[in-house]
Amino acid sequence: MSTNPTRRRTLQAAGAAALAAGLTNLTATSARADEDNSAPELVTYPRPSGVATTTSFKVRVRTAPDGEWQTLDIYQPRAREINATTGSGKVYNSSMVYFDFCGSAELEVTYLKGGTTKARVRPNSYGITPELLGDTLRFTLDEPKDLVVQINDDVFDCLHVITNRVEKHAPAADDPDVLYYGPGLHTVNLLSVPSGKTVHLAGGAVLLGGIDLTDAEKVTVKGHGVLIPTSTAGGVNVERGKDIRVEGIIMLGAGVGCYDSENVHVKNGRVFTWGQWGDGFPLYCSKNITYDGCFVRSADDSHSIYAHRDTHYGDTRDVTIKNATLWADVAHPINVGTHGNTDEPEMIENLVFKNLDILDHREPQMNYQGCVSLNAGDSNLIKNVHVEDVRIEDFRWGQVLNFRVMYNTKYNTSVGRGIEDVYIKNLTYTGTHANPSLFLGYDADHAIKNVTFENLVVNGVVIADTMRKPTWYYTTDTVQWYANEHVTGLKFLTTAEAEAAASS
């Protein structure tokens, strides 16, 4: 169904019917638009006809502890795996459901293929242990979270659960400044949004195409609907944008690209990619950018943070990624610094990565490993990076960290200038699959300087320069990491040592 997006005076009849069918457990509290977010409330949405689904799971949800069970419609995100021998990429079908609630919600997940011997709800940091009853498991959420349910440790045929608080202040469908998409299927190919407008994808809406915010200012893209790219356009493109907000939408196939832009805030963006070069949130030459509460499962870097490339020029600075869950089926969860400007060197600085769960990382190529990668090339200087409260679960293939000043001739025309002033606090890795993390300066003039770890915990052991070890061992030897001679000022501190140093 093709739809004119310019104004929505009322919900279309089909959309209204779908909405009525989808709000399957809308309580009297909701009908009165009660502002108390703690009151039990559940809103589910039908999947529009023609949108791909899968049949591995049956999922039901109810307000806890004894509401009426509602069956959720299932969407089909996909995931990519690189063959390390041939380099080819195989794409697998996966599953995703979403709903809104306030109060508590109980989920019941049944694996329809059978043979369930164990079930896992991730991230591990949420501490959710499901009740397993044959091929059915149950667990309760006390607040909205984004989760992955794995059966028998399968990383592809799994269930992604996306949840939001019930939306209380949706924009009016007949607001002249709102491009409103109600429940149902809409095709736009490419929606170019003027400055000052709001694009609203209501829950139950699926928009086929891309959203272009080139040269736009003061634009919001929001809602609890789904954006799916067409063959010619996809995702949200922010180019030379200013004061942009993207909030709540689910993006299947492409994420949010940010180029030469300023003051961009992405809140609760959910991204799944499975195509080649499938970065979730690519960022070039932009300033004052925040990603808060996002979930990314990507077929390339979940977050890529660069300076110059192609037609984009200028420094990248003041970037925050926080409260996120990242899963990279290919390449890095976070990658910083590959691309820059050899002729007029640029800076990538003032980066904050805080409160992150990294669920997976799989990359056969040594050049592109690292759950967090700082790879300064193309005369870039990466400076002032703060990493805090990052929990890395056991991943399939790669490194925990890869910090390199490099000259990768595939992408670079010069060596990076360096990496300086990195502080990493409360980073934990629990697992057995990690290759050694690498810290490699290029030479004395293109070095890594002043990297400090506070309370680094690897498999339950705090790694510190003062820990018990042979006196001739480097601290990195205790975790089988490696730093070369062009790394200076590398420190490993306990929390007590860091606090004492700060107060002295």
Question: pLDDT tens across 160-199, in order?
Answer: 999 999 998 899 999 999 999 999 999 998 999 999 999 9
Question: pLDDT tens across 111-151, in order?
Answer: 999 999 999 999 999 999 999 999 999 999 999 999 999 99
Nearest to 242 by CA among 229, 225, 256, 261: 261
User: Buried (b) or exposed (e) across 17-54, using 16+ Cβ within 10 A?
Assistant: ebbeebbbbbbebbeeebeeeebbbbbbbbbbeebeeb
At residue 216, the pLDDT reads: 98
Report phi then psi at 324, rounded to 5: -115, 160
Q: Is 482 left (phi over 0), alpha (psi -120 to 50) or beta?
A: beta
Rounded CA gap, 272 and 114, in Å? Answer: 26
* Residues in CB range of 499: below 8 A, 6 or more apart: none
Range name among 7-11, 198-202, 208-212, 263-267 with the lowest pLDDT average = 7-11
DSSP 8-state code for residue 274: -
Which tokens is 426 given?
């409360």
Count of CB atoms situated within 10 Å of the CB of 419 = 30
Whole-model pTM: value is: 0.93
Rounded mean pLDDT of the chain? 93
Question: pLDDT tens across 305-355, in order?
Answer: 999 999 999 999 999 999 999 999 999 999 999 999 999 999 999 999 999
Question: pLDDT tens across 357-406, in order?
Answer: 999 999 999 999 999 999 999 999 999 999 999 999 999 999 999 999 99
Peptide bond into 194 cis (omega under 30): no
At residue 1, the pLDDT reads: 40
CB 390 within 8 A of CB 426: yes
Per the DSSP assignment, residues forming a β-bridge with 349 are 317, 383
DSSP-based helix, strand, coil % in the chain, nearest 5: 5, 50, 45
Can you say how many angstroms the Cα of residue 415 is from the centroid of all Cα atoms in its chain? 29
Rounded CA gap, 235 and 217, in Å? Answer: 18
Report phi then psi at 266, rounded to 5: -110, 115
Q: Per this entry, what is the length of the chain?
A: 504
First to last CA, the chain: 67
CB 428 within 8 A of CB 434: no
CATH top class, domain 20-164 = mainly beta
Environment class of 480 (CB within 10 Å of its CB; exposed 0-12, middle 13-18, buried 19+): exposed
At residue 101, the pLDDT reads: 98
Tokens 């409360």, located at residue:
426
Question: Cα–Cα distances in Å, from 348 out to 30, 146, 189, 259?
Answer: 46, 30, 34, 14
Average pLDDT over residues 14-24: 41
Rounded CA gap, 281 and 298, in Å? Answer: 9
β-strands 316-328, 78-82 pairing: unpaired
